A and B are shown apart, each in its own frame.
Chain A
Amino acid sequence: MTDPLAGGRPLTSETVPQATVAPGAGASAPSAPAARPARQPSETVSRRREVIHFALRGRKILVGAGVLLVLLVIAVAGPFLRPGDPNAFVGPLGAPPSAEYWFGTTTFGQDVFAQFASGLTATFLVGLTGGGIAAFIGMTVGFVAGYRGGVVDDVLNMITNVILVIPTLALLLVVTAYLSARGLFVEAIFIGLTSWPWAARAIRAQTFSLKTREFVDLARISGASSWRVIFREIAPNMSSYLFLTFILLFGGSILIAASLDFIGLGPTEGTSLGLMMYNAVAWSALQLGMWWWFIPPGIGITAIVGALYVMNVGLDEIFNPRLRES
């Protein structure tokens, strides 16, 4: 797991980092979305068209999206290709990949491919849910703190900083350890509740810079309530930034979930990629050379997260031409 590293990149003049970025505990990404000056609303429409045009052509984006699509297909097709409980004991014990069992079987004769496909589904769901919740909280906190300023900002800032410093995994450890039954969504919710701080900081900084723009003043003068201003004026001008932040949160959630699962604090039922690795290590798959058991889950996670990062960079290049190789 890594955090967005361009943490120091100033978003505007502030450092979430700087451009910065706001890497935060739990979120992972090589670089948080780069800061960029907001545009006038009138430019936004043609920009959007330009953006879509390049988005569909950018190699990084296509490669990243392609990988995600392949894995998504596997996840969705899994239950049809290999119906039944992925954890059921169906085959020979510890068999290497064959025509019948594409990814071989575990020590107990479970179909590794079925587990893999099911694990992929779990991974996507956790990423979506956890990332979504974190994005929601991060946006709420970030917008309010950035827009309101003053005491509200100070309080939210303090809360954000406190949660930011606490290592996410450590926090999740104590929280989930006491639950005797854990579900996938509970795990995702907890992840979402703890990994939002860096996003809040980043969004707050960006909101700050947008707040001083004329069109926001106009909206305020015309009597729009704060929420209206945020939703109608500020957020749309940050839409690319918000999207990139979500992508990073998505990836981050997946990595955190994998770690939780690996320690044994994942969902008590079902299967996940992290859980597969946990089992593999626990049952000496390493020493027994059962590489088909522990290699695929890791590749799955690396592929998804890597694809997300690459897409993030590709999209960032479009939105922020500076990083583009000319």
Chain B
Amino acid sequence: MTLQITDLRVYYRTLAGDVRALDGVTFGLADGEIMGLAGESGCGKSTLGNSLVRIDGRMKYVAGTVTLDGATLPISDNDQMDEFRFTEVSIIPQYAMSAMNPTRKIGRMVGDLLESRGVKFGDMRGELERRLDLVGLGADVLDRYPIELSGGMKQRMVMVLSTLMNPSLLIADEITSALDVTSQRAVAETLVEFRERGFVKAMIVITHDVSILYQIADTLTIMYAGKLAEKAPTRVITDEPRHPYTRLLVSSLPEVGVRFEDRRLTGIPGTPPSLLGPPSGCRFRERCPLAFAKCAQEPPFVEIGPDHSVACWKAD
């Protein structure tokens, strides 16, 4: 499978104007690729992930195309997208803990959902139970109400449900944020397992916690202020980051074994620009230690190495 996103722009309608949360994003995803999508709060990563599944509420599709396996995804048309949801494109949402109807037994909810999508629950039951077993949940969980499950269990249930129809593309939106470290690891490993077993072809894993991505992602994409900053294989991002933001991000992470006296953690001073009326030119200009005159022009997101793209004039 291949995913190709071209110049995707999705804004948020607010009474003060349009917030340009996603402002021209272009990249591709190959078959079997787990791509980590990281960045500060408000950089647009959640918007990107969610717009591939459902554009609603205050979101507004402005421009761009998304093709999945050669077919255009009609993300701007909610009715047409229904056909692709769950079967081709699926999401493990940020709110997985509260994603299930509290007054319905889980099994019945799954049954209702499947039947409404034209799939007989009975047909899927066997596979469903196998997958539940895979993530460490017993089949009895289907007879429970969500309130009877722990947070981790609910998370795993949602993971199984979202991938039940073997979607080509899975968006995992901040799925580890609410978990403790051990659970985080288990969840991360489960994601990889899903790929290995062919339940999912490719994944976009959205998080602000880069350390998880180091473990499981093949490629990392760093976003800043609605635009892509850098995309490269994980090792490359960690060892040879080119974009100044990526470099600051990487160096601001604590390294195991290094003590505070030896090397101080540096944050990145400043805050991202407002996306209500974003500045022209490179959006990282204000906080970038390498900024120079040319940065007043927006740098294009260009490939500077094998599978390595950066948006910075100083990248080579």
Contacts and interface: CB of A to CB of B under 8 A. Distances in A.
Chains A and B touch each other in the complex, with CB atoms below 8 Å apart:
yes
Interface of A: 54, 326
Contacts of A54: 15
Nearest to B58: A326
Interface string B42-59: 000000000000000110
A54 B15 CA distance: 10
A193 B57 CA distance: 44
A326 B15 CA distance: 10
4 contacts: A54-B15, A326-B13, A326-B57, A326-B58
Q: Which of B13, B15, B57, B58 has the most CB of A within 10 A?
A: B15
A59 to B, nearest CB: 14
A320 to B, nearest CB: 15
A326 B57 CA distance: 8
B190 to A, nearest CB: 28
A98 B58 CA distance: 55
B19 to A, nearest CB: 15
Interface of B: 13, 15, 57-58
Contacts of B57: 326
A326 B58 CA distance: 8
Nearest to A54: B15
B311 to A, nearest CB: 32
Contacts of B15: 54
A322 to B, nearest CB: 10
Contacts of B13: 326
Contacts of A326: 13, 57-58
Contacts of B58: 326
A117 B55 CA distance: 54
B149 to A, nearest CB: 16
Which 4 pairs from chain A and chain B are nearest by CB? A326-B58, A326-B13, A326-B57, A54-B15
Nearest to B15: A54
A203 to B, nearest CB: 24
Nearest to A53: B15
A234 B164 CA distance: 45
Nearest to B13: A326
B104 to A, nearest CB: 17
A106 to B, nearest CB: 51
B263 to A, nearest CB: 29
A54 B16 CA distance: 12
A54 B13 CA distance: 16
A326 B13 CA distance: 10
A204 B58 CA distance: 32
B35 to A, nearest CB: 32
B216 to A, nearest CB: 32
B150 to A, nearest CB: 16
A8 B58 CA distance: 27
B269 to A, nearest CB: 19
Nearest to B16: A50
Nearest to A57: B15
A118 B82 CA distance: 62
A54 B58 CA distance: 18
A321 to B, nearest CB: 9
A221 B316 CA distance: 52
B37 to A, nearest CB: 26
A27 to B, nearest CB: 27
A326 B56 CA distance: 11
A54 B14 CA distance: 13
B114 to A, nearest CB: 29
A128 to B, nearest CB: 33
A249 B136 CA distance: 52
A54 B57 CA distance: 20
A164 B15 CA distance: 41
A299 to B, nearest CB: 35
A162 B83 CA distance: 53
B140 to A, nearest CB: 25
A315 B238 CA distance: 50
B265 to A, nearest CB: 22
A326 B14 CA distance: 10
B18 to A, nearest CB: 14
B103 to A, nearest CB: 12
